[in-house]
Amino acid sequence: MAERLQKILSAAGIASRRKSEVLIAQGRVMVNGKQATIGDRADVDIDIVTVDGKPIAAERKRYLALNKPSGHVTTLSDPQGRPKVSDLIDVPERVFPVGRLDYDTEGLLLLTNDGDFAERISHPRYEIDKVYVARTATPLGDEALRLLRTGVQLEDGPSAPAAVRILYRDNRTVELTIHEGRNRMIRRMLAAVGSPVTGLTRMRIGPLALGDLPTGRWRELLPAEIAGLLEGAPKPAGPAVTRKGPR
């Protein structure tokens, strides 16, 4: 059945539908040897669709959860040659990170080859909560907590109010829930209230918790977990197979 090219490219894990439209507009997509245009349709069972001269094929959709260690970048390539999160994953499909975690931040990171899923999880308009636990260099006082809960003024605009919970009596370990995805958001918020971060871990994305997944290891998401992320359903109970990435 013929479908719009951007949907075909997204289903093949090439890019999200929006980014696929950019590829088409740039003239990088061909159908049966002819340059495609926005609005074109194709049937992957009949037509030959190529991107940058390489034919695409429908891939198995993969949805992975990784406990990202510190010291890895959430990109597929790095000019500085630093370790990448993709080095920890051993699946035949080309998966990419959903959103990002800073080089020195640990915790839950999703990877997929489903562009639509990635956009749904990472786009700010869906306001999916992300829960972090931060360790700070100095205790958080009442005024710092008030600012975090009402919005902190940053160089690129005020933060949205965060849900904040102190975890230990020394007031230096705090749980923050935000839905924004601006660069180094948690670190900048805490620095702005006078408590720089010394350690940061993402514990949850929407209903999906990091749980006991060991650092540097990944697992497949369960179908119910994928549905929960997309629909806001409660996190399902039940075990999942854990695999170890290459050392």
86 in Cβ contact with 71 (< 8 Å):
no
40 in active site:
no
From residue 213, how far is each of 200, 204, 244 by CA, in Å? 16, 12, 10
Cβ density class 153-164: b for 16+ within 10 Å, e for less: eeeeeebeebeb
User: Among 45, 90, 102, 129, which one carries the catalytic annotation?
Assistant: 102
Query: DSSP class of residue 102?
Result: -
Are 82 and 70 spatial neighbours (Cβ–Cβ below 8 Å)?
no
Instruction: Classify the phi-psi angles of 76: left when phi > 0, otherwise alpha if psi is within -120 to 50, otherwise beta.
Output: alpha
CB contact burial 50-78 (16+ within 10 A = b; e otherwise): ebeeeebeebebbbbbbbbbeebbbeeee
Query: If we measure between CA atoms, which residue out of 44, 48, 46 comes closest to residue 30?
Result: 48
The amino acid occupying position 57 is A
Residue 66 to residue 47: CA distance in whole angstroms? 36
H and E: helices and strands count for the chain? 6, 16
Among all residues, which ones are annotated catalytic? 102
